Every structure is written in structure tokens, then in C-alpha cells.
Amino acid sequence: MKPVDAAEIVRSAKEGKIVDRLLYTDREGKKIEREIEIPFYKHQLRIVFGQNGLLDPRRIEDYIALGGYSALAKALFEMTPEQVLNEIKKSNLRGRGGGGFPAGSKWETTCNAPGEPKYVIINCDEGDPGTYKDRSLVEGNPHRVLEGLIIGAYAIGSRQGFIYVREEYPLAVENFGIALKQAEEYGFLGENIFGTDFSFHVKVHRGAGAFVSGESSALMNAIDGRLGEPRIKYVHTSTSGINGKPSNLNNAETWATVPLIIEKGADWFTSIGTEGSKGTKIFSLVGKVNNSGLIEVPMGITLGDIVYKIGGGIPKEKKFKGVQTGGPSGGVIPEQHLDTPVDFDELTKLGSMMGSGGMVVMDEDTCMVDMARFFANFLLEESCGKCIPCREGLRVLHKILSDICDGKGEDEDMQTIEDIAETMNEASLCALGTTATNPVLTTLRYFRNEYELHIKQKRCPAKVCKALIDYYIIPEKCQACLICLRNCPEGAVHGGKDMVHWIEQEKCTKCGSCYEVCNFDAVKKLSGELIPPPPPEGMKPLRKGRS
């Protein structure tokens, strides 16, 4: 749809007609009239962020018109704080930021912990690559998140709240700031909310971009003005957090779910989902999948349904290889487990996790060792460096994985990886270190063969690892079109007009330009195979139609 189509759309809408040529066409060429019937939406249940498209996030009136703040009114006028707390407990709402800890129990801990004041905090420090669900909520429907926070504050007995939001989300910072102001003007926030004796204030704290600061104790250190790194905590932040006071931290998505539960009741909420995981979950579906984007699905939907029904399968008829759930420290789940339901405990059983809702789909062209190396590198850069297992473990882990990708792997490397991983898992200070080994451990578990091929045969089956592949032009397919020859930055392609091209292996830097530009599928990647000798000098291309 383009701006020029606007006039036609308005005209048709006035006549109650559909603009046929602009309709969504599915893979079979069938035209679909209603959004809800599009496969991408049909299998979703968008109860938490379904309103995003219906309102202007900078107009509180839009949110109110959609029933906004009525849950807050219900909580304040019809329920005691204990009743609100019990409703959340009954709903079995589990934390959407990664851990999956029951929100109700956390609230109760803070509520009953000695010490005043008590704090409530929104965690919007979403630092995972490829994940943007919290951003979409705080940018697109800030009042929803805020309403949840105010209800939580009422239940817990807090007068001061914070939102910890990444500096890299300027629009989220801005929209939430506007939301705070508007809510105060309407008397939903500030002194004597709705004329009751409940008062509550919220401050925006902008994070400086460290991934580890999303960890609860690190986040509270940062709000306190200290270094944003985790502290040793066997006493939870819900008992001793900001300033040593009881502080309840929940993810933005968790807070956004709260108004729904209060409005429709815990019984309604628990009717959605699995035994152990209730409600819906938002995922950032990305990677090698036809339909990517933010999706909200009921808990219990299988990974296969997400990839194939919502995601529309893998592009270019490639084969599915794995799906990584839970962000950079999540594990990769292979094809044989695609029938696994989306559920906190089921994903953990497979060595992965729900995490913050990242979902990266990988096809046959993904090298699992290279993938594990990529995430080890990300975490190595994001580790705060405070504790030995995480800092030094990731350093060595990343080096071993890089060596394997570079064809320098040794037989005992897999055992060494497992040794280091065990120590990191059990001994690290915070969850960054204890979960950092998930990508490497799950790929070792489900794709061990790939590691063995890299180490023993110096072969990369997905043909990704540069050191282990060679490019070769199949003489019988080459049409001598000169395109790869001209694009090669190293001058490694020889041949000429009407002469079959060939690659001088010593000069080749394996940049893949020839592979990308060839229109005849003549450039092939080889790994662990002998490279055939160049064609006889002056060999003419075999043209189609010629014998």
C-alpha cells in the first residue's frame, strides 16, 4: 500500500467496498479480506498488545476510550490491596522478563518485607539482539504498562515507582514521559489517585545500555547511582533492593498483563495456557522465517505452529534446522522437538528457556558452531567482568569456539567446553553467567555431529565457516559471463570472454562475492572435499541449446 492509494481507499470505504487489488494475497494466491483471517494473525491471541494499533500512544483519551484505567478504578474502589494481590496470585502470572517467577509471590514478598518505603519498578532494559517486545509496549501503549504498575503499587503498598528504560529507546522514554504527565493530569497518578487516599509517583530512569543491567540487582544498583553490575544476593531484591528497601521488579510485559487480570478476573486468565504457564506470551519472531515480527500467542501453542502457521515456514523452500528461544542465552531447539508447547518449564527441560521472548528461526544454511560462537561473543562483550567463571569462562569458551570454526579444533575441545560450562552454570554470580552456556550446550546436545565434523574432518556442513570452505566454479555450468570475474575484489577469478572461469584458490579470500552474483548457479561452496583442478585452458562454455 502506498500514499497514492489513499484516495481510492477512502472512496471505496465510503461506498462500503473493498479495494480488491490491495488485498493481502496468501501463498496459494488466495485473497484475504479480513486481517484476522491472515494466517499470521489467525493463530495469535493478541490480548496484551492487541490495542497497540488502535490508539495513539500520546493520547490518554484513546486509551480510556478502549476501557483503559477501568481496571485501576475497579482495584481502588471494589477491591482491597489484599484482594488485588490474591487475584494476581490466583492468576499464576509468571514473570515475562525471563525467569518466569510467579509475580504474585514476588509482590507478596515485597508487601510483607519489613522496611519503608517500598518500591515498584518496570524493567524495560531490553538488551537482547532481535528482541523488541517491551519497546513495542512502552512505545505503543505506555498507559497499559503504567496502569499495571499503579495497580501493583496499590497491592504492594508502594508510593514510589520507577521505569528503567534503555537510553537506546528514545521514543519509549518520550512516550512514557508523556503518559506520566497525562495520567497525573487526569488524577490517575500522583497524590490522592481517583480522590482516594492512595498516592503514587513514578520516575523515569534511563539505562546506559549495558545488557547486564537488566538483572534485578544490577538494575537497582544503577538506580541507586552505583555501577550497574549484579551484587551478591541470596536475599532477594524484593526484600532488599533500591536503597536496601523492598523493591518489586517486573518486566514491562508482566505489568501490561496486570490490568487484564484485574478487569477480567484470574479465572478468565487461567483459562488460557498450560498447567504451569498461563495467559499469552509475546515473542519477537525473527530469522529464516517468511513472516517475521512481534507475535502474541497463547501459552501451549507448539513451536512448530509458530514457525509454520504464524511464521509461514522457511523462505526459499529451505529446510528448518533449529529455533533459538529466549534471547542470546537461550538454547537451540531442533526439529524433533517442534511439537513442544510454549511453556516455561517445557522449554527449560529442553535446555533452553522462555527468556524475554526472542525467537530466532534457523535454516539449513546456519552453522551451529558458528551460531554458538556468535552468542558467546555477544555475552563476552556484555559480561560485566565481576566474577571469574563468567568473565574468564566466556573468554576461553569464545576462543575455543572460534578455533573450532577456524579449523583449529582439537579432539578434547568438546569435553573442555562441558567442563567450563558446568563451572559457569553453577558458580557464576548472576543469571548472565549461569545461562550463557545454553547456546553452546544445546547445540552440543542436538548437533554434536556438526562439532565433530568441524574438529575431526575440518568440515563445515552448513558451509558457513570461512576457514573450512572453498569456492569452486563448475566448468559445465559456467556461461563465461564475466560477472564474477569483475566482482572478485582479489582478482582471483580467471578466464575471460567465451572462456570458462576458474578461481585461483591461493588468491581467494572466500568473501563469497562470486557466489552471490552468479546467475547460473555455477559457483559452488565445498567443505572438506577435494577441489577439482581448473578446466583446460581456453575451455569454451557449454551454452544452452548447443551440443
Partner 1 sequence: MSVTLKIDDKTVNAKEEMTILEAAKEADIEIPTLCYHEELEPYGGCRICIVEVEKGGRSSIVASCGYPVEDGLKVKTRSAKIDKMRKTMIELIAPTTGEIGGKLLTLAREYKADLYRFSSRVVVDPTKCILCGLCVRRCAASLWDNAVGFVGRGIYRRVVLFPEKSQNCGVCQICLEVCPTGKIPSTGPINSIPFIDDVLAGRK
Q: Which residues contact 142 (CB under 8 A, 6 or more apart)?
A: 57, 172, 175, 176, 178, 179
Please tell me whether residue 391 adopts helix, strand or coil conformation. helix
Grid cell locating 498: 567465451
Q: Which is nearer to partner 1, 220 or 462 (CB)?
A: 220
In the complex, least distance from residue 428 CB atom to partner 1, rounded to whole angstroms: 7
Q: Which residues contact 244 (CB under 8 A, 6 or more apart)?
A: 115
For residues 138 and 173, is the Cβ–Cβ distance under 8 A?
A: no
420 interacts with partner 1 by CB under 8 A? yes
In the complex, least distance from residue 252 CB atom to partner 1, rounded to whole angstroms: 25
Closest CA to 431 of 353, 493, 359: 353
Which phi-psi region, left, alpha or beta, contains residue 119 (left: φ > 0; alpha: ψ -120 to 50)?
Answer: beta
Judged by CB under 8 A, the residue of 386, 459, 463, 501 near partner 1 is 386
Question: Using the 8-state DSSP alphabet, how is residue 211 labeled?
Answer: G
> 3-state secondary structure string, 159-198?
CEEEEEEECCCHHHHHHHHHHHHHHHHCCCCECCHHHCCC
387 interacts with partner 1 by CB under 8 A? yes
395 interacts with partner 1 by CB under 8 A? yes
Q: Which is nearer to partner 1, 131 or 428 (CB)?
A: 428
478 interacts with partner 1 by CB under 8 A? no
Judged by CB under 8 A, the residue of 126, 382, 450, 470 near partner 1 is 382
Judged by CB under 8 A, the residue of 426, 498, 504, 537 near partner 1 is 426
> 3-state secondary structure string, 253-287?
HHHHHHHHHHHHCHHHHHCCECCCCECEEEEEEEE
Q: Which stretch binds partner 1 (CB under 8 A): 104-112, 303-311, 421-429, 506-514?
A: 421-429
In the complex, least distance from residue 110 CB atom to partner 1, rounded to whole angstroms: 18
431 interacts with partner 1 by CB under 8 A? no
Q: Which stretch binds partner 1 (CB under 8 A): 32-40, 292-300, 388-396, 497-505?
A: 388-396
Q: Which run of H or E residues covers position 496?
A: strand 493-496
401 interacts with partner 1 by CB under 8 A? no
In the complex, least distance from residue 220 CB atom to partner 1, rounded to whole angstroms: 15
406 interacts with partner 1 by CB under 8 A? no
Q: Which residues contact 374 (CB under 8 A, 6 or more apart)?
A: none
Kindly identify the residues of this chain, within the stretch 301-340, that bind partner 1 according to CB under 8 A. Answer: none
Q: Which is nearer to partner 1, 13 or 235 (CB)?
A: 235
In the complex, least distance from residue 236 CB atom to partner 1, rounded to whole angstroms: 12
419 interacts with partner 1 by CB under 8 A? yes
Q: Which is nearer to partner 1, 408 or 458 (CB)?
A: 408
494 interacts with partner 1 by CB under 8 A? no
429 interacts with partner 1 by CB under 8 A? yes
Q: Which residues contact 335 (CB under 8 A, 6 or more apart)?
A: 320, 321, 322
389 interacts with partner 1 by CB under 8 A? yes
Rounded distance between C-alpha atoms, residue 123 and residue 238, angstroms: 14
183 interacts with partner 1 by CB under 8 A? no
Judged by CB under 8 A, the residue of 406, 422, 452, 490 near partner 1 is 422
Q: Which stretch binds partner 1 (CB under 8 A): 69-77, 87-95, 306-314, 427-435?
A: 427-435
Please tell me whether residue 238 adopts helix, strand or coil conformation. coil
Judged by CB under 8 A, the residue of 393, 439, 461, 541 near partner 1 is 393
Q: Which residues contact 201 (CB under 8 A, 6 or more apart)?
A: 159, 160, 161, 189, 190
Q: Which is nearer to partner 1, 213 or 325 (CB)?
A: 213
In the complex, least distance from residue 403 CB atom to partner 1, rounded to whole angstroms: 8
Rounded distance between C-alpha atoms, residue 230 and residue 247, angstroms: 15
Q: Which stretch binds partner 1 (CB under 8 A): 245-253, 282-290, 377-385, 497-505?
A: 377-385
H helices of 406-472, in order, are 413-427, 431-435, 438-446, 448-456
Kindly identify the residues of this chain, within the stretch 57-76, that bind partner 1 according to CB under 8 A. Answer: none
Number of residues forming the site for partner 1 (CB under 8 A): 34
Judged by CB under 8 A, the residue of 295, 394, 440, 465 near partner 1 is 394
In the complex, least distance from residue 329 CB atom to partner 1, rounded to whole angstroms: 15
Closest CA to 368 of 437, 454, 303: 454
**For residue 117, cis peptide bond before it (omega within 30 degrees of 0):** yes
Site string for partner 1, 209-248 (x = CB under 8 A): -x----------------x---xxxxx-------------
Which phi-psi region, left, alpha or beta, contains residue 200 (left: φ > 0; alpha: ψ -120 to 50)?
Answer: beta
412 interacts with partner 1 by CB under 8 A? no
How far CA 79 is from CA of 84, 94, 281, in Å, comes to 6, 22, 27
In the complex, least distance from residue 51 CB atom to partner 1, rounded to whole angstroms: 38
Q: 86-119: b or e for each residue (b if 16 or more CB lie within 10 Å)?
A: bbbbebbbbbbbbbbbbbbebbbbbbebeeeebb
385 interacts with partner 1 by CB under 8 A? yes
Rounded distance between C-alpha atoms, residue 356 and residue 99, angstroms: 8
User: What does the binding site for partner 1 look like in residue numbers (CB under 8 A)?
Assistant: 210, 227, 231-235, 380-389, 391-396, 399-400, 403, 419-420, 422-423, 426-429
